[in-house]
C-alpha cells in the first residue's frame, strides 16, 4: 500500500495525538542538519515541495462508522518553508532551534510540519520539526528517502464509508479471534492477570499540576571508533554503553531512593517493509537497571538487562489487551489499558544507527553533521510524567552525534547540562565536542554512501535480528 494510501491510526498515534490533553504537553521530533556551505533557498523550497507530496503531509479523518479506526488522508502543508536572513551566532543558535520546535503545530491545524533554514558560520543550519503523532523518527527518515512521488494504490479503493465499514468488520473479527487465546493466557499466568487488574484499579485524585518544564539540551560529537572500543573494553556494545550513559545521568542528577531501579526506555522499530506507511511504528521497551551512584566499571549487567527486555514479548505491545479489542473500548477504559510508554520511564535512549545518504544529502548538499531530538512542548509536567531525560544517538560518517535533554529542575540550564554530560563522557574516556564548538576541517568526513534507510532497528546491537512488534515512542 502506498504511504499516501489508506492507513489507519494505531494506538500510539492516538495516544500521541491526545497527549496534550492527557499529559499537558505534546511531543515534537526535530531533525537538525549542519552544512559547511550555504544551502540554496531554491533547493530548500524544492525539498519542501517534495516532502509535501509524501507521508508527512497527512491529516486525520475521523471514522464514520463505530468500531472503525480513524484514518490518514493526504493533505497540503500550510506552513511554508522559512528562510531566515539574519546569520545565527553561537549565542543565538540554540534559541533559534528552540523557536522552531516550540512554535505550535496543533493537531487540527493546516500547519502540518515546519522546515526552516538560517545562515550559520560559513554555511547553514536547517531544522525540520514534525509532531510526533504525525511521524516518528524512523518514519521521518523514510519520508526523506522518498525521492519520487509515492506510488498510487494498485487497486481501485472503495469509498470512505465502505472502507470504514470494512475496517470495523475486520476489527470485530480480529477481536473475536484473538481475545479468547489472550484470555486463556491470562488464566495460565496469574502475574499477567494481576498486572491487568492493577491497570484497571481506579486512580486516586490527580495531583495538582505545576508548570510544564521545557527540557534543557545540548548536542555532542564523539568519535565512533572510540565509542566502539570503550564499549568492547567494558564488555558491552554501542547500544549498551548508550543505555548506561543515560542511566548514569539519571543516577547523578535526579534525586531518588537509593534502592530504586532506573527505567530506561529503548525504542525498537517494528517496520518490516519500505512501503510501511504507519505514522508511529516503534515500541518503547523499558530496560530496568540498578539505581545508586553512577557506574563506570562494566557493561555486562546493562547488556544482559537490555537483551532480556528486548526478548520479552510482553514488552512488545502498545496496549495491555489485543490491539483491535483496545480500539473497541470506551475512552476511559482504553486509556487505562495502554502501556506506560516513554513518558513513564526515567529516561529514553533512542539509538537511530547510521544516518543514510537519503538523510545526510538534503537540498542538494551534504551535511557535515546531523542530529535528532524529541522535545515535549511546552514541556513535561512532572506530576503527570516520570520522564526526566531523553537522549538520541545518530551516526554520521565516523562520528556519533548525541543529543542530551533533561528536566531543568535536575539538570539545570543548558550550560550545566553540558557540563554534566561532558563529565559522563569523560568518565568513559570519550572526548566529546559540543556542536557549537569549532569543527576542524580534517574532521569533516563524508557520510557512508548508501541510499538505504539503515540502522532502523533500535537496540539491534544487543539482540539477534528478528521481526519486532509493538507501538511507538510516546
DSSP string, 223-262: EHHHHHHHHHHTT--HHHHHHHHHHHHHHHHS---TT--E
Read off the pLDDT of residues 322-365 as tens digits, 9 standing for 90 and up.
999 999 998 888 888 888 788 889 999 999 999 989 999 999 99
Comparing C-alpha atoms, which of 20, 284, 275 is closest to residue 131?
20
Cis peptide bond upstream of 235, omega within 30: no
Contact 2, 276 (CB under 8 A): no
Contact 67, 168 (CB under 8 A): yes
pLDDT surpasses 50 at 112:
yes
Taking residues 408-419, report their average pLDDT. Answer: 97
**Does the predicted TM-score (pTM) go above 0.85?**
yes
Same fold flag, 7-164 and 216-369+381-462: yes
Calculate the dihedral angle through the C-alpha atoms of 399, 401, 402, 405, rounding to the nearest 10 degrees.
160
- CA–CA distance, 315 with 470 (Å, rounded to integer): 8
Domain boundaries, the chain: 7-164, 216-369+381-462
* Yes or no: domain 216-369+381-462 corresponds to CATH 3.30.559.10: yes
At 470 the pLDDT is 31
At 440 the pLDDT is 59
At 455 the pLDDT is 37
Choice between 41 and 5, residue whose per-residue pLDDT is larger: 41
**Looking at the domain 7-164, which fold is it?**
Chloramphenicol Acetyltransferase (3.30.559)
Choice between 209 and 63, residue whose per-residue pLDDT is larger: 63
- CA–CA distance, 248 with 250 (Å, rounded to integer): 5
Name the DSSP class of 213.
B
At 447 the pLDDT is 43
Taking residues 77-85, report their average pLDDT. Answer: 96
b/e for 63-83, b at 16 or more Cβ within 10 A?
Answer: bebebbbbbbebbebebebbe
pLDDT surpasses 70 at 370:
yes
Going by C-beta distance under 8 Å and a sequence separation of 6 or more, which residues neighbour residue 397?
445, 446, 447, 448
Total H helices, total E strands in the chain = 15, 17
pLDDT surpasses 70 at 96:
yes
Contact 11, 319 (CB under 8 A): yes
At 466 the pLDDT is 31
Read off the pLDDT of residues 306-316 as tens digits, 9 standing for 90 and up.
999 998 877 87
Work out the pLDDT band at 290, boundaries 50, 70, 90: very high
Backbone φ and ψ of 61, nearest 5° = -110, 115
At 84 the pLDDT is 95
Provide the CA 233 distance to its chain's centre, in angstroms.
29
Distances (CA, A) of 210 to 28, 301, 383, 385: 21, 36, 7, 12
- CA–CA distance, 169 with 450 (Å, rounded to integer): 42
- CA–CA distance, 385 with 381 (Å, rounded to integer): 6
At 441 the pLDDT is 55
pLDDT surpasses 50 at 76:
yes
Mean pLDDT over the full length of the chain: 87
Contact 55, 277 (CB under 8 A): yes
pLDDT surpasses 80 at 133:
yes
3-state secondary structure of 176: helix
- CA–CA distance, 290 with 462 (Å, rounded to integer): 18
Taking residues 439-459, report their average pLDDT. Answer: 44
At 153 the pLDDT is 47
Read off the pLDDT of residues 149-198 as tens digits, 9 standing for 90 and up.
554 544 455 688 999 999 999 999 999 999 999 999 888 888 888 888 88
Helix (H) or strand (E) holding 432: strand 432-434
Q: Rounded to the nearest 10 degrees, what angle do helices 224-233 and 238-253 cross at?
A: 80
Distances (CA, A) of 373 to 63, 79, 132, 218, 406: 32, 21, 11, 10, 12
At 303 the pLDDT is 96
pLDDT surpasses 60 at 113:
yes
Angle at 95 between CA 94 and CA 101, to 5 degrees: 90
Contact 214, 409 (CB under 8 A): no
pLDDT surpasses 80 at 23:
no
Contact 472, 138 (CB under 8 A): no
Backbone φ and ψ of 382, nearest 5° = -60, -25
At 156 the pLDDT is 52
Work out the pLDDT band at 473, boundaries 50, 70, 90: very low
3-state secondary structure of 353: strand
Burial class (CB in 10 A: 0-12, 13-18, 19+), 89: exposed
Beta bridge partners of 28: 131, 375
Angle at 302 between CA 301 and CA 306, to 5 degrees: 120
Amino acid at each position: 500500500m502506498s504511504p499516501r494510501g489508506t492507513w489507519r491510526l494505531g494506538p500510539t498515534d492516538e495516544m500521541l495525538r491526545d497527549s496534550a490533553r492527557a499529559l499537558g504537553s505534546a511531543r515534537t521530533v526535530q531533525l537538525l542538519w549542519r552544512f559547511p556551505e550555504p544551502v540554496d533557498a531554491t533547493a530548500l523550497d524544492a525539498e519542501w515541495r517534495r516532502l509535501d507530496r509524501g507521508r508527512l503531509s497527512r491529516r486525520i479523518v475521523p471514522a464514520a462508522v463505530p468500531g472503525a479506526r480513524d484514518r490518514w488522508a493526504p493533505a497540503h502543508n500550510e506552513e511554508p518553508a522559512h528562510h531566515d536572513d539574519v546569520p545565527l551566532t553561537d549565542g543565538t543558535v540554540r534559541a533559534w532551534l528552540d523557536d522552531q520546535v516550540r512554535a505550535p503545530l496543533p493537531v487540527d491545524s493546516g500547519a502540518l510540519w515546519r522546515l526552516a533554514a538560517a545562515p550559520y558560520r560559513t554555511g547553514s543550519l536547517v531544522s525540520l520539526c514534525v509532531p510526533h503523532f504525525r511521524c516518528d523518527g524512523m518514519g521521518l527518515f523514510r519520508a526523506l528517502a522518498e525521492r519520487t512521488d509515492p506510488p498510487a494504490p494498485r487497486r481501485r479503493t472503495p469509498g470512505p464509508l465502505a472502507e470504514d465499514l470494512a475496517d470495523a468488520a475486520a476489527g470485530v473479527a480480529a477481536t473475536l479471534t484473538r481475545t479468547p487465546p489472550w484470555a486463556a493466557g491470562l488464566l495460565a499466568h496469574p502475574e499477567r492477570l494481576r498486572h491487568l487488574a492493577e491497570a484497571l484499579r481506579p486512580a486516586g485524585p490527580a495531583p495538582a499540576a505545576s508548570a510544564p518544564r521545557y527540557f534543557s539540551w545540548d548536542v555532542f560529537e564523539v568519535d565512533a571508533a572510540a565509542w566502539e572500543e570503550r564499549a568492547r573494553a567494558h564488555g558491552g556494545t554501542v547500544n549498551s554503553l548508550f543505555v548506561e550513559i543515560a542511566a548514569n545521568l539519571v543516577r547523578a542528577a535526579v534525586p531518588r531512593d537509593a534502592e530504586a531501579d532506573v527505567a530506561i526506555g529503548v525504542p525498537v522499530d517494528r517496520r518490516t517493509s519500505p512501503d510501511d506507511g504507519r505514522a508511529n511504528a516503534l515500541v518503547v521497551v523499558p530496560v530496568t537497571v540498578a539505581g545508586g551512584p553512577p557506574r563506570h566499571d562494566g557493561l555486562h549487567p546493562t547488556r544482559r538487562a537490555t537483551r532480556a527486555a528486548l526478548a520479552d514479548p510482553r514488552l512488545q505491545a502498545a496496549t495491555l489487551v489485543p490491539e483491535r479489542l483496545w480500539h473497541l473500548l470506551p475512552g476511559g477504559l482504553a486509556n487505562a489499558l495502554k502501556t506506560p510508554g516513554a513518558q513513564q520511564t526515567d529516561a529514553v535512549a533512542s539509538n537511530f544507527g547510521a544516518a543514510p545518504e537519503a538523510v545526510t544529502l538534503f537540498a542538494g548538499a551534504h551535511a557535515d553533521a546531523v542530529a535528532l531530538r524529541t522535545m515535549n512542548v511546552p514541556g513535561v509536567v512532572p506530576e503527570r510524567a516520570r520522564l526526566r531525560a531523553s537522549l538520541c544517538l545518530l551516526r554520521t560518517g565516523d562520528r556519533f552525534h548525541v543529543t542530551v535533554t533533561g528536566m531543568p529542575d535536575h539538570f539545570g540550564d543548558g550550560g550545566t547540562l553540558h557540563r554534566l554530560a561532558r563529565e559522563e563522557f569523560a568518565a568513559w574516556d570519550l572526548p566529546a565536542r559540543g556542536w557549537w564548538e569549532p569543527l576542524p576541517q580534517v574532521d569533516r568526513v563524508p557520510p557512508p554512501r548508501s541510499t538505504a534507510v539503515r540502522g532502523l532497528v533500535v537496540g539491534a546491537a544487543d539482540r539477534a535480528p528478528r521481526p519486532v512488534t509493538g507501538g511507538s515512542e510516546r
